[in-house]
Homo-oligomer: A and B are copies of this chain.
Amino acid sequence: MNTILLNNITDLRLKIKEWRKEGLTVGLVPTMGALHNGHASLIKKAKETCDKVVVSVFVNPIQFGPNEDYDKYPRTIENDLKLSNEYGADIVFAPTPIEMYGKNTSLSNTELTFVCPPYNLVDCLCGKSRVGHFDGVATVVLKLFNIVTPDYAFFGQKDAQQLFILKKMVKDLNLDLTIVPCPIVRENDGLALSSRNTYLSADERKRALCLSKALKHIEKTYLQGITDTDILFDTAISILDSGVEMEYLEFRNFETFEKVEKVQANTLVAIAAKVGKTRLIDNIIL
Protein backbone atom coordinates (compact mmCIF):
# COMPACT_ATOMS: atom_id res chain seq x y z
CA MET A 1 0.00 0.00 0.00
CA ASN A 2 1.58 3.29 -1.13
CA THR A 3 -1.45 5.47 -0.39
CA ILE A 4 -1.31 7.17 3.00
CA LEU A 5 -4.51 7.58 5.03
CA LEU A 6 -4.71 10.89 6.89
CA ASN A 7 -7.50 12.04 9.17
CA ASN A 8 -6.38 15.46 10.24
CA ILE A 9 -5.89 18.76 8.50
CA THR A 10 -2.54 19.64 10.06
CA ASP A 11 -0.87 16.43 8.85
CA LEU A 12 -2.30 16.89 5.37
CA ARG A 13 -1.10 20.50 5.16
CA LEU A 14 2.42 19.48 6.20
CA LYS A 15 2.54 16.86 3.48
CA ILE A 16 1.29 19.27 0.86
CA LYS A 17 3.83 21.91 1.89
CA GLU A 18 6.57 19.29 1.42
CA TRP A 19 5.30 18.64 -2.11
CA ARG A 20 5.11 22.34 -2.85
CA LYS A 21 8.72 22.79 -1.80
CA GLU A 22 9.67 20.15 -4.37
CA GLY A 23 7.70 22.09 -7.01
CA LEU A 24 5.16 19.29 -7.50
CA THR A 25 1.61 19.86 -8.76
CA VAL A 26 -1.33 18.63 -6.72
CA GLY A 27 -4.67 17.22 -7.84
CA LEU A 28 -7.73 16.80 -5.62
CA VAL A 29 -10.54 14.30 -6.09
CA PRO A 30 -13.28 15.23 -3.60
CA THR A 31 -15.60 12.29 -2.84
CA MET A 32 -18.06 11.08 -0.23
CA GLY A 33 -16.40 7.65 -0.32
CA ALA A 34 -18.20 4.45 -1.32
CA LEU A 35 -15.88 4.64 -4.28
CA HIS A 36 -16.79 2.94 -7.56
CA ASN A 37 -15.34 2.92 -11.06
CA GLY A 38 -16.66 6.43 -11.67
CA HIS A 39 -14.40 7.68 -8.88
CA ALA A 40 -11.61 5.44 -10.20
CA SER A 41 -11.76 7.31 -13.51
CA LEU A 42 -11.38 10.62 -11.64
CA ILE A 43 -8.35 9.38 -9.71
CA LYS A 44 -6.82 8.00 -12.90
CA LYS A 45 -7.32 11.32 -14.68
CA ALA A 46 -5.87 13.19 -11.69
CA LYS A 47 -2.80 10.99 -11.69
CA GLU A 48 -2.30 11.60 -15.41
CA THR A 49 -2.60 15.37 -14.87
CA CYS A 50 -0.74 15.99 -11.59
CA ASP A 51 2.38 14.86 -9.78
CA LYS A 52 0.51 14.14 -6.56
CA VAL A 53 -3.12 13.17 -5.94
CA VAL A 54 -5.27 13.59 -2.84
CA VAL A 55 -8.60 11.76 -2.65
CA SER A 56 -10.85 13.19 0.05
CA VAL A 57 -13.45 10.88 1.57
CA PHE A 58 -16.00 12.80 3.60
CA VAL A 59 -19.74 12.28 3.91
CA ASN A 60 -20.53 15.95 4.36
CA PRO A 61 -23.39 16.46 6.84
CA ILE A 62 -24.21 20.01 5.73
CA GLN A 63 -25.20 18.98 2.21
CA PHE A 64 -27.89 16.54 3.36
CA GLY A 65 -31.43 17.63 4.15
CA PRO A 66 -33.04 16.49 7.42
CA ASN A 67 -34.99 13.70 5.67
CA GLU A 68 -32.19 12.57 3.40
CA ASP A 69 -29.80 9.63 3.63
CA TYR A 70 -26.87 11.07 5.63
CA ASP A 71 -27.01 8.26 8.21
CA LYS A 72 -27.42 5.40 5.82
CA TYR A 73 -25.04 6.70 3.14
CA PRO A 74 -22.53 3.83 2.58
CA ARG A 75 -19.21 4.16 4.42
CA THR A 76 -16.56 1.80 3.00
CA ILE A 77 -13.24 3.40 3.92
CA GLU A 78 -11.15 0.19 3.64
CA ASN A 79 -12.34 -0.43 0.14
CA ASP A 80 -11.94 3.28 -0.71
CA LEU A 81 -8.33 3.17 0.42
CA LYS A 82 -7.69 0.02 -1.61
CA LEU A 83 -9.19 1.45 -4.78
CA SER A 84 -7.40 4.79 -4.31
CA ASN A 85 -4.13 2.90 -3.94
CA GLU A 86 -4.82 0.84 -7.04
CA TYR A 87 -5.27 3.99 -9.14
CA GLY A 88 -2.21 5.76 -7.74
CA ALA A 89 -3.59 8.24 -5.20
CA ASP A 90 -0.89 9.49 -2.84
CA ILE A 91 -3.16 10.41 0.04
CA VAL A 92 -6.67 9.53 1.14
CA PHE A 93 -7.88 12.33 3.40
CA ALA A 94 -10.79 11.09 5.54
CA PRO A 95 -11.57 13.64 8.25
CA THR A 96 -14.34 13.34 10.85
CA PRO A 97 -17.18 15.89 10.89
CA ILE A 98 -15.58 17.39 14.01
CA GLU A 99 -12.26 17.81 12.23
CA MET A 100 -14.05 19.63 9.42
CA TYR A 101 -16.58 21.70 11.39
CA GLY A 102 -15.34 21.78 14.99
CA LYS A 103 -17.13 20.83 18.17
CA ASN A 104 -20.17 22.43 19.75
CA THR A 105 -21.56 24.01 16.65
CA SER A 106 -24.98 23.46 15.12
CA LEU A 107 -23.74 22.98 11.52
CA SER A 108 -26.35 25.50 10.40
CA ASN A 109 -26.00 28.96 8.91
CA THR A 110 -26.75 30.50 12.30
CA GLU A 111 -23.34 29.39 13.53
CA LEU A 112 -21.19 28.61 10.48
CA THR A 113 -19.93 30.62 7.52
CA PHE A 114 -21.44 29.26 4.31
CA VAL A 115 -20.65 29.67 0.65
CA CYS A 116 -23.89 30.40 -1.20
CA PRO A 117 -23.89 29.84 -4.96
CA PRO A 118 -26.10 32.15 -7.05
CA TYR A 119 -29.80 31.69 -6.50
CA ASN A 120 -30.37 31.35 -10.26
CA LEU A 121 -28.20 28.21 -10.31
CA VAL A 122 -29.51 26.76 -7.07
CA ASP A 123 -33.24 27.27 -7.46
CA CYS A 124 -33.66 24.67 -10.21
CA LEU A 125 -33.10 21.00 -11.03
CA CYS A 126 -31.77 19.16 -7.94
CA GLY A 127 -31.70 22.37 -5.91
CA LYS A 128 -35.50 22.66 -6.07
CA SER A 129 -36.07 19.50 -4.05
CA ARG A 130 -32.77 19.60 -2.13
CA VAL A 131 -32.97 23.04 -0.51
CA GLY A 132 -29.60 24.11 0.90
CA HIS A 133 -27.82 21.16 -0.72
CA PHE A 134 -25.59 23.20 -2.99
CA ASP A 135 -24.70 25.68 -0.23
CA GLY A 136 -23.42 22.68 1.70
CA VAL A 137 -21.55 21.32 -1.31
CA ALA A 138 -19.94 24.66 -2.20
CA THR A 139 -18.94 25.23 1.43
CA VAL A 140 -17.26 21.87 1.93
CA VAL A 141 -15.56 21.97 -1.47
CA LEU A 142 -14.15 25.44 -0.74
CA LYS A 143 -12.90 24.16 2.62
CA LEU A 144 -11.23 21.22 0.88
CA PHE A 145 -9.73 23.57 -1.71
CA ASN A 146 -8.32 25.74 1.09
CA ILE A 147 -6.89 22.73 2.92
CA VAL A 148 -5.40 20.97 -0.11
CA THR A 149 -4.67 24.04 -2.32
CA PRO A 150 -4.87 21.89 -5.46
CA ASP A 151 -3.83 23.01 -8.93
CA TYR A 152 -6.57 20.82 -10.40
CA ALA A 153 -9.75 19.38 -8.94
CA PHE A 154 -11.65 16.54 -10.59
CA PHE A 155 -15.43 16.16 -10.63
CA GLY A 156 -17.74 13.76 -12.38
CA GLN A 157 -20.11 15.13 -15.00
CA LYS A 158 -22.89 13.01 -13.52
CA ASP A 159 -23.44 15.79 -10.98
CA ALA A 160 -23.76 18.32 -13.78
CA GLN A 161 -25.42 21.05 -11.73
CA GLN A 162 -22.80 20.66 -9.00
CA LEU A 163 -20.06 20.90 -11.60
CA PHE A 164 -21.53 24.06 -13.07
CA ILE A 165 -21.98 25.64 -9.63
CA LEU A 166 -18.42 24.80 -8.58
CA LYS A 167 -16.96 26.24 -11.79
CA LYS A 168 -18.94 29.40 -11.09
CA MET A 169 -17.62 29.45 -7.51
CA VAL A 170 -14.03 29.17 -8.74
CA LYS A 171 -14.61 32.12 -11.07
CA ASP A 172 -16.61 34.29 -8.65
CA LEU A 173 -14.27 33.78 -5.70
CA ASN A 174 -11.04 34.06 -7.77
CA LEU A 175 -9.75 30.63 -6.85
CA ASP A 176 -6.47 29.87 -8.55
CA LEU A 177 -7.20 26.32 -9.70
CA THR A 178 -8.75 24.46 -12.61
CA ILE A 179 -11.81 22.26 -12.38
CA VAL A 180 -11.57 19.21 -14.63
CA PRO A 181 -14.90 17.62 -15.57
CA CYS A 182 -14.79 13.87 -16.19
CA PRO A 183 -17.31 11.86 -18.24
CA ILE A 184 -20.00 9.71 -16.65
CA VAL A 185 -19.01 6.07 -16.20
CA ARG A 186 -21.81 3.56 -16.85
CA GLU A 187 -22.51 -0.11 -16.30
CA ASN A 188 -22.61 -2.22 -19.47
CA ASP A 189 -26.39 -1.85 -19.59
CA GLY A 190 -26.19 1.96 -19.37
CA LEU A 191 -26.92 2.65 -15.70
CA ALA A 192 -24.79 5.59 -14.52
CA LEU A 193 -22.52 4.57 -11.64
CA SER A 194 -23.56 6.00 -8.28
CA SER A 195 -22.83 5.11 -4.68
CA ARG A 196 -26.58 5.20 -4.19
CA ASN A 197 -27.13 2.34 -6.66
CA THR A 198 -26.41 0.00 -3.73
CA TYR A 199 -29.78 1.06 -2.28
CA LEU A 200 -31.62 -0.51 -5.24
CA SER A 201 -33.34 -3.91 -5.08
CA ALA A 202 -32.91 -6.19 -8.10
CA ASP A 203 -36.28 -5.08 -9.41
CA GLU A 204 -35.57 -1.37 -8.85
CA ARG A 205 -32.19 -1.83 -10.53
CA LYS A 206 -34.03 -2.99 -13.68
CA ARG A 207 -36.53 -0.12 -13.57
CA ALA A 208 -33.70 2.41 -13.01
CA LEU A 209 -32.38 1.60 -16.50
CA CYS A 210 -35.15 3.66 -18.05
CA LEU A 211 -33.34 6.90 -17.06
CA SER A 212 -30.31 6.27 -19.26
CA LYS A 213 -32.57 4.77 -21.93
CA ALA A 214 -34.66 7.94 -22.04
CA LEU A 215 -31.51 10.05 -22.40
CA LYS A 216 -30.16 7.76 -25.14
CA HIS A 217 -33.49 8.02 -26.91
CA ILE A 218 -33.34 11.82 -26.77
CA GLU A 219 -29.83 11.74 -28.21
CA LYS A 220 -30.91 9.43 -31.04
CA THR A 221 -33.94 11.57 -31.85
CA TYR A 222 -31.80 14.72 -31.78
CA LEU A 223 -29.27 13.14 -34.14
CA GLN A 224 -32.18 12.43 -36.48
CA GLY A 225 -32.66 16.20 -36.71
CA ILE A 226 -35.25 16.97 -34.01
CA THR A 227 -34.12 19.99 -31.95
CA ASP A 228 -37.44 21.09 -30.39
CA THR A 229 -37.09 20.28 -26.69
CA ASP A 230 -40.86 19.86 -26.18
CA ILE A 231 -40.88 17.07 -28.75
CA LEU A 232 -37.71 15.54 -27.32
CA PHE A 233 -39.24 15.70 -23.85
CA ASP A 234 -42.37 13.87 -24.99
CA THR A 235 -40.47 11.09 -26.76
CA ALA A 236 -38.41 10.54 -23.60
CA ILE A 237 -41.40 10.46 -21.28
CA SER A 238 -42.92 7.60 -23.23
CA ILE A 239 -39.84 5.52 -22.38
CA LEU A 240 -39.87 6.12 -18.64
CA ASP A 241 -41.06 3.14 -16.60
CA SER A 242 -44.38 3.76 -14.90
CA GLY A 243 -42.80 2.55 -11.67
CA VAL A 244 -40.36 5.47 -11.71
CA GLU A 245 -41.36 8.83 -10.30
CA MET A 246 -39.81 11.56 -12.43
CA GLU A 247 -38.71 14.73 -10.63
CA TYR A 248 -37.43 16.68 -13.62
CA LEU A 249 -36.25 16.27 -17.20
CA GLU A 250 -34.74 19.51 -18.47
CA PHE A 251 -32.73 20.92 -21.34
CA ARG A 252 -30.21 23.60 -20.40
CA ASN A 253 -27.42 25.44 -22.13
CA PHE A 254 -24.29 24.13 -20.42
CA GLU A 255 -22.50 27.47 -20.95
CA THR A 256 -25.14 29.65 -19.30
CA PHE A 257 -27.38 27.12 -17.53
CA GLU A 258 -30.44 28.75 -19.10
CA LYS A 259 -33.31 26.61 -20.33
CA VAL A 260 -33.28 25.99 -24.07
CA GLU A 261 -36.21 25.48 -26.42
CA LYS A 262 -34.10 24.36 -29.37
CA VAL A 263 -31.13 22.11 -28.79
CA GLN A 264 -27.83 23.73 -29.76
CA ALA A 265 -24.26 22.62 -29.18
CA ASN A 266 -23.45 21.99 -25.51
CA THR A 267 -27.00 21.34 -24.34
CA LEU A 268 -27.30 19.49 -21.05
CA VAL A 269 -30.21 17.07 -20.78
CA ALA A 270 -30.63 16.26 -17.09
CA ILE A 271 -33.04 13.89 -15.42
CA ALA A 272 -33.85 13.06 -11.80
CA ALA A 273 -36.28 10.40 -10.64
CA LYS A 274 -37.15 8.29 -7.66
CA VAL A 275 -36.94 4.54 -8.05
CA GLY A 276 -38.58 3.19 -4.93
CA LYS A 277 -37.12 5.33 -2.17
CA THR A 278 -33.89 5.97 -4.04
CA ARG A 279 -33.38 9.27 -5.84
CA LEU A 280 -31.22 8.90 -8.96
CA ILE A 281 -29.87 11.44 -11.44
CA ASP A 282 -28.36 11.12 -14.89
CA ASN A 283 -27.59 13.36 -17.85
CA ILE A 284 -26.05 13.68 -21.29
CA ILE A 285 -24.53 16.60 -23.16
CA LEU A 286 -25.82 16.96 -26.71
Contact = CB atoms under 8 A, between A and B. Distances in A.
Contacts of A146: 173-176
Interface in A165-188: 168-169, 171-176
Interface stretch (A82-90, A110-118, A227-235, A238-246): A110-118
A117 B113 CA distance: 4
A143 interface: yes
Contacts of A110: 118-120
A43 interface: no
Nearest to A148: B174
Interface of A: 9, 13, 102, 109-120, 138-139, 142-143, 146-147, 149, 168-169, 171-176
Given A109-B118, A113-B117, 15 more contacts: A13-B176, A109-B119, A110-B118, A111-B118, A112-B118, A113-B118, A113-B138, A113-B173, A114-B115, A114-B116, A115-B115, A142-B173, A143-B173, A146-B175, A149-B176
Contacts of A175: 146
Nearest to A175: B146
Nearest to A100: B174
Contacts of A176: 13, 146, 149
8 contacts: A102-B171, A109-B116, A109-B118, A110-B120, A113-B172, A139-B173, A146-B173, A146-B174
A143 to B, nearest CB: 5
A9 B175 CA distance: 12
Contacts of A139: 173
A59 to B, nearest CB: 18
Nearest to A117: B113
Contacts of A149: 176
A147 B171 CA distance: 11
Nearest to A102: B171
A138 B109 CA distance: 14
Contacts of A102: 171
Nearest to A114: B116
A110 to B, nearest CB: 5
B120 A111 contact: yes
Contacts of A13: 176
B116 A113 contact: yes
A169 B102 CA distance: 13
Contacts of A120: 110-111
B113 A143 contact: no
Nearest to A120: B110
A101 to B, nearest CB: 8
